[in-house]
Structure 1
Amino acid sequence: MAKRIVFVTVGTTCFDSLVKAVDTKQVKHELLKRGYTHLVIQMGRGSCTPTKSVGEDGSLDVDCFTFSSSIADHLRSASLVISHAGSGSIFETLRLGKPLIVVVNEDLMDNHQSELAEELAERKHLYCARPQTLHQTIAAMDLESLLPYPPGDATPVAKLINHFLGFADD
């Protein structure tokens, strides 16, 4: 069976609710059902350590780490990326053309990140979820329906940023 990796990243923050969500039986079950074989979790500053396991008896192979000098290799080898809503992680994943589920951290105050994620989800470039709805998003996702993000054109992003900052559109 081909190796199909799900890479989860929380960036440099603490996002234990995302780590806990991907460590649940429901999420692992949905990932297995969709043919994923490995779950690699970058857990950042969080205190929650996922249950590591070697994929046997039809279970996911689960591994985790806190930080890496570059997550680019993990992103490149992933069949699916589940990420926090940081713009760096979002755009790096989209640039690589990887299917992406962005999970919004509802514990952050003034959560402008959720607006970016929801806008990109509306444009069908990614899926947007909350930790408690992640398993439902995985169960319902149709990766074929996602549209590639147009590389190199910063205009949509600039317009989005200007909109959030309150500048009028041209």
Structure 2
Amino acid sequence: MKRVFVTVGTTKFPKLIDAITRSTTLKTLQDRGYNFVQVQTGRDFQGVNLEAEIKATVEQQGTSWTVQLADCSLTLKYHEYFEHFEEEIRAADLVISHAGAGSCLDALRLNKPLIVVINEDLMDNHQTELAKQLEKNGHVYFCVPSTLAATLRFDLTKLVPYPKIDEKLFANYLDKCSGFVQ
């Protein structure tokens, strides 16, 4: 099973949720071989909103929804939050995320291909700066909700792995500053 994990973080980002369910996005995901999309919706999610031409069965259980598309072998599952967020990322073949630093770094540290979707509705959008820098460094592709389907066609194998963290670097620096090491 080829999986996509979509996260909006802890705030609302309905344009990203809607972009996932556009027919062009669903067709692109299917063409790329994906058959399961796990969507973390954030708070106050009002339910699945499919375009009229998309035929699907939708089931709701509490704050979770399952959508089985009739015309293809693609299943979408929606949940407000995940208790084991990192496990969802680990299980994914692709992560599509809002541009929050925490979500981006979680995906990059787990060496997952990452598409970052900018929330254009945010004021003082510092997330755009992060996404642009990560793309400039070759680690991600970034887009806005309206260009997600086109961005999904990019070659994910060209992304540069995020560098591993040197956990001793800061401690070594402190030791040197404190005079413990020459």
Same fold (TM over 0.5): yes
1:48 positional shift = 4.3
1:41-73 Cα distance to aligned partner (Å, 9 max, x none):
100024342354235652311110001223111
- Alignment match of 1:6 (pick from 4, 7, 10): 4
The amino acid that maps onto 2:165 is G
Match of 2:29 in 1: 31
Match of 2:136 in 1: 122
> Which of the two has greater helix per residue?
1
The amino acid that maps onto 2:132 is E
Change (3 A) 1:46 1:130: farther
- Alignment match of 2:73 (pick from 51, 55, 59): 59
Match of 2:112 in 1: 98
Contact 1:15 1:46 in 2 (8 A): no
Q: TM-score, normalised on structure 1?
A: 0.84
Q: Identity percentage over the alignment?
A: 44
**Hey, what's the Cα distance between the residues in 2 that align with 1:24 and 1:46?**
20
Match of 1:164 in 2: none
After TM superposition, the structure 1 stretch with the greater mean CA deviation from structure 2, 109-118 or 48-57, is: 48-57
1:34 positional shift = 0.4
Q: State how many pairs are aligned.
A: 151
Match of 1:111 in 2: 125
**Hey, what's the Cα distance between the residues in 1 that align with 2:166 and 2:124?**
27
Residue segments in structure 1 that go unaligned for 5+ positions in a row = 155-170
Name the SS of the counterpart of 1:118 in structure 2.
helix
Name the SS of the counterpart of 1:49 in structure 2.
coil
Please tell me whether Structure 1 or Structure 2 has the larger radius of gyration of its CA atoms: 2
Q: Does 1:142 align with 2:155?
A: yes
Residue segments in structure 2 that go unaligned for 5+ positions in a row = 51-65, 168-182
Q: TM-score, normalised on structure 2?
A: 0.78
